Chains A and B, each alone.
Chain A
Amino acid sequence: MNKVVLFRIAGGLLLAGASLRLAYAQGQNSPTDLSGEWRRLTNHEDAHERGPGPDPGEYWGLPLNDAERMRADAYNGEVLSTNLYLQCRPHPTGYQQLGPDQMRIEKEIDTINRQLIAYRILFQRTPGDRMIWLDGRDRPSANAAHSWEGYSLGKWDGDTLTIATTHLKESFIRRNGVQGSFRRTVTEHVSLDEPYLTWVLIVNDPDYLTEPLIRSVTFVRAPNLQIPVYPCSPQQEEYRPEDVGKYRVPFYLTGANPYLTEVAFKYKTPLVGVRGGAESMYPEFVAKIKSETAPPQQFTLKPVYNDDSTRIAERIANQAAPAPTYDKVETLHVKGNIFLLSGAGANIALSVGGDGVVMVDAGAAQASDKVLKAIKEVARLPKPATVSNSASPYADVWQSTHSEAPPVIRMIIDTSAAADHVSGNGNIAGSPIFHPIGVEGGDQAASEVILSHENVQQTLIAAKVPVRAQPTNTYFSERYRLHRYFNNEGVEIQYMPHAVTDGDSVVWFRGSDVIATGDIFNSDMYPPLDIDHGGSIQGLIDALEKLADLCFPEYMGQGGTLVVPGHGWISDGSEVGYYRDMMIVVRDRVQDMIDKKMTLAQVKAAKPTMDYDPLFGRQPGATGKFVEAVYRSLTEKGATEKSVTEKKGK
């Protein structure tokens, strides 16, 4: 063998070695490989809770506050039969792994550089694949949609994958009505000791927990395990003939749940133990349990709620509302043609397309400049090129697609007369890019400029807002459809009588499958129920029921029809369903107090919304106003009709 051949062989070997090294380095894409099928080690821990489920009132080991305790005490599992959004609700992140489902983890690979960019997790009862993003991407906007599985970012820390999840829907922490707030976050630590996968789950809930809740579960590799589908189709289940056709929310009034002490009796445990709280997680609690005795028999508990979480509304009741700054105006794509424009007062929904822009609400007047700037930006999004008949398509097509006419706003639809929704009407209508259908001030029959229910127009006239800011077109019937498709879809406006006010509209973009709700639904605050302007709690409940029914979920009660709320983040039917149920619970609690001859002051002192205040009562004074409005709505018979008559008489 000559030298040349020898050197070639040696060189080849060196190259092969280098290639192997390179391949190893590039192939080491994560410290361990979590992909595959996994079988949960059923019931190795908490067999009772993870199998048949916890008993009512079983809160031991949960660091819950009194607001959460009240919420769970009121829970009646029968609600799963009536609320169609809850019937197929999957286990949420933070609980999912504790459930009975098996699990598949797949790798999501960047097709260009073939690096691992995400894990995709699938359970039987998950609406879609839960993505754990590993590519360093940012979190979405605070106004982005929430989901059962949330938005998860992963990062390796040594041999452990740490996952941080936000954007969760409200859902359960324990399957006996202990709820997790939509503000909760979940941290997970996943580690592999072949063939076992340990999953540590930590729930942080600023609304309902006083300390993080840590739990864990173990899976074992189970290659080729089939993860079946979950074809859950909700059905309204009513066992009582008198309830058929009515929507109701089964729940227990405070002090009326007969099952809360069952678990203490059954396990011969003092009540102080089963009622939970952070102290029940610590060893020192053993002495406390031993110092008390278990109840000799089951009885109906009359709970007292008085910890810090019960005073959230009180603490901020007399605080001045912070002055709005409008410094975070943001545009976010919702679905199809529809965008959410937030931070300019109430939410604004925009239909954006070749026909121009339709605005649902105009926001606050002080934010109009920012609104117009945002609309100009969003209206410049790329449009598809049109096919030209020209002999030189290049010139025509390129130029037409690389130059553009100024953005055009065609119309404003007002969902109510509230200033944060409509005070920007005048500024928008007076802007150079506002080119409505027809001529403003011209023949009203030949124009659609600013549209609302007629009661909104009446209210704004009565309030003496400038003419330019008043609706130019009104409707008075149950629904109003724009006279033509706009941006290739039908736009339907539905009247919601005597809901928040007497003039509420929701706007349904039928092709995009998005509904802008105005203040009928707010994702994180109570509605500004206004009895003096024709609002009523029953009208609001009816409106929410109609809205929930209008939404068509994609799968497992989420997605599908998306909702732009009056305030808050992009939502869907399940969140509307929760909101509706809350209204029914609050109505019934207040009605029960009225039936007991309690005065408004006594009702307010009894805090009928206390368990919901951490979620919805964080605006100064809002809780008191809401409770008062519900009380008045239920006591001032005819108040609503009187308000309407008075207004029309003016």
Chain B
Amino acid sequence: MTFFTSQVTSKNTKQRTATLLSIASVALLAFALPSNIQAQGRAKTAPPQTAKAAAPFDPSGYWTSIITEDWHVRMLVAPKGDFGSGPDAEGLPFGGQGSIPYTREAARLARAWDPAKDEAEGNQCKAYGAAGIMRLPGHLHIAWTDDYTLKMDIDAGTQSRVFHFKRPAPTGQAATAVAPEPVGEPSLQGNSIAEWVILGGRGDWSRGGNLKVVTTNLKPGYFWKNGMVYSGRLTLTEHFRYQKEPNGDEWLNFSQMAEDPQYLTEPWIITYHYKKLPDAAKWNPTACTAR
């Protein structure tokens, strides 16, 4: 009996120990977790915010490209073989390789650019795919088409890119968010999955964040209009950031990282700058041109 009692006592003590330790552990976790992680946890029980509502900045509106870099290969159609170092750059000790970290094969193909052939084959838009169009002189019109879809119309070549945010799963399905658009045939603008990257935290940096867009499933195209090729294996990662300057200028600055295992020797990263326009007055849709 004593033995039994002692066993019972021991069992009760273990239960109490386990209970207390569990409470303490939960408390420890609660205290230790960063507030933004806690907030994510709470978000599971609270009604989920839509992508539009969660936006740290509103990208919608009209924007114009501001071209201060790579000017001669963006404002003009650079001569064949000009990779950014000028037409006579081959053999130069510096810069002769141009701006794009190309493989030899890519360079060979670029030097074989034939715009007449592109025109004959109806491929005038090869430089207007997602990996090339942002560097062309032009304007953007960005708008939410629904709470989870951001559409970017581009007047150069009259193109549209569509950024899909993950949506909450329909009732009764698995709780994980899903991308809505089925992946179809490769296209000029590919499939773009978007998300807001918000670090959270405290103080001045609690606000803000950037829009990350990853684009795949692209048809092969041109980085530059002078036939600088990219393959269908290209993955494009973009980070869009908004800044408002003291003089009132509003900028959409974004970096674009191209990873092409077929034609690039390393990720190629460049940054583009678009300035906010007050209205659609400058909007000027044009057709694609091959030269």
A residues sitting closer than 8 Å to B (CB atoms) are 1, 3, 6-7, 9-11, 13-14, 16-18, 20-21, 24-25, 28, 30-32, 41, 43-48, 50-52, 60-62, 155-160, 162, 187, 189, 191, 193, 196, 198, 200, 202, 204, 212-218, 266-269, 273, 280-286, 289
Contacts and interface: CB of A to CB of B under 8 A. Distances in A.
Contacts of A13: 21, 24-25, 27-28
B249 to A, nearest CB: 7
Nearest to B29: A17
Contact of A267 (B67, B87, B138, B208): B87
Task: Please indicate which of the listed interface residues A47, A160, A200 has the most CB atoms of chain B within 10 Å of its own CB.
Answer: A47
B245 A44 contact: no
B253 A266 contact: no
Given A214-B66, A285-B137, 10 more contacts: A17-B24, A21-B31, A47-B98, A48-B86, A159-B208, A187-B245, A196-B269, A267-B87, A273-B76, A282-B137
Contact of B30 (A17, A62, A158, A285): A17
Contacts of A6: 16-17, 20-21
A262 to B, nearest CB: 11
Interface string B169-203: 00000000000000000000000000001110111
B210 A191 contact: yes
A190 to B, nearest CB: 11
B271 A43 contact: no
A44 B69 contact: no
B126 interface: no
B289 to A, nearest CB: 11
15 contacts: A9-B21, A16-B28, A17-B24, A28-B201, A32-B199, A43-B84, A47-B83, A156-B204, A157-B207, A158-B56, A216-B255, A282-B66, A283-B64, A283-B139, A286-B137
B32 interface: yes
Contacts of A214: 66, 68, 251, 253, 273
B260 to A, nearest CB: 14
A43 B99 contact: yes
A28 B36 CA distance: 12
Interface stretch (B40-48, B88-96, B141-149, B158-166): B88-96
Contacts of B84: 43, 45-48
B94 A24 contact: no
Contacts of B209: 158-159
A189 B284 CA distance: 30
B77 to A, nearest CB: 10
User: Which 9 A/B pairs are nearest by Cβ-Cβ distance?
Assistant: A158-B208, A51-B95, A17-B28, A17-B31, A283-B137, A13-B24, A216-B271, A61-B71, A31-B205
A290 to B, nearest CB: 9
Nearest to A274: B72
A273 B137 CA distance: 14
B285 interface: no
B269 A282 contact: no
B243 A162 contact: yes
A51 B270 contact: no
A189 B99 CA distance: 23
B205 A9 contact: no
A3 B202 CA distance: 39
B243 A25 contact: no
Nearest to A13: B24
Given A24-B32, A48-B86, A189 B269 contact: no
Given A202-B245, A215-B69, A266 B86 contact: yes
Contacts of B271: 45, 198, 200, 216-218
Interface string B53-65: 0001000000011
A280 B94 contact: no
A20 B31 CA distance: 7
B75 interface: yes
Contacts of B85: 47-48, 51-52
B288 interface: no
Given A31-B205, A218-B271, A189 B253 contact: yes
B76 A289 contact: yes
A572 to B, nearest CB: 29
A32 B64 CA distance: 30
Nearest to A51: B95
Interface string B1-17: 00000000000010011
Contacts of A286: 75, 137
Nearest to B202: A28
Contacts of B27: 13-14, 17
B207 A44 contact: no
B205 A52 contact: no
B99 to A, nearest CB: 4
Interface string B91-115: 0111101111100000000000000
Contacts of A282: 64-67, 137
Given A14-B31, A46-B70, A47-B98, A52 B21 contact: no
Contacts of A43: 84, 95, 97-99
B72 A212 contact: no
A41 B210 CA distance: 22
A281 B86 contact: no
Contacts of A155: 204
Contacts of A18: 31
A212 B255 CA distance: 20
Contact of B34 (A28, A48, A156): A28
A281 B66 CA distance: 5
A51 B93 CA distance: 9
A20 B29 CA distance: 9
Contacts of B13: 1
A17 B284 CA distance: 59
Contacts of B17: 1, 6
Interface string B215-253: 000000000000000000000000101010111010101
A43 B66 CA distance: 19
Contacts of A157: 204-205, 207-208, 243
A267 B86 contact: yes
Nearest to A46: B69
A162 to B, nearest CB: 7
B54 to A, nearest CB: 13
Contact of B24 (A10, A156, A160): A10
B16 to A, nearest CB: 7
A18 B86 CA distance: 61
Contacts of B30: 17
Contacts of A47: 83-85, 95, 97-99
B152 to A, nearest CB: 16
Contacts of A213: 68
Nearest to A282: B64
A280 B24 contact: no
Contact of A160 (B21, B94, B243): B243
Of A41, A44, A52, chain B has the most CB atoms within 10 Å of the CB of: A44
A200 to B, nearest CB: 5
Given A44-B268, A193-B239, A268-B79, A31 B28 contact: no
Given A158-B209, A187-B245, A44 B64 contact: no
B237 to A, nearest CB: 8
A8 to B, nearest CB: 10
A157 B243 CA distance: 9
Nearest to A3: B16
Contacts of B31: 14, 17-18, 20-21
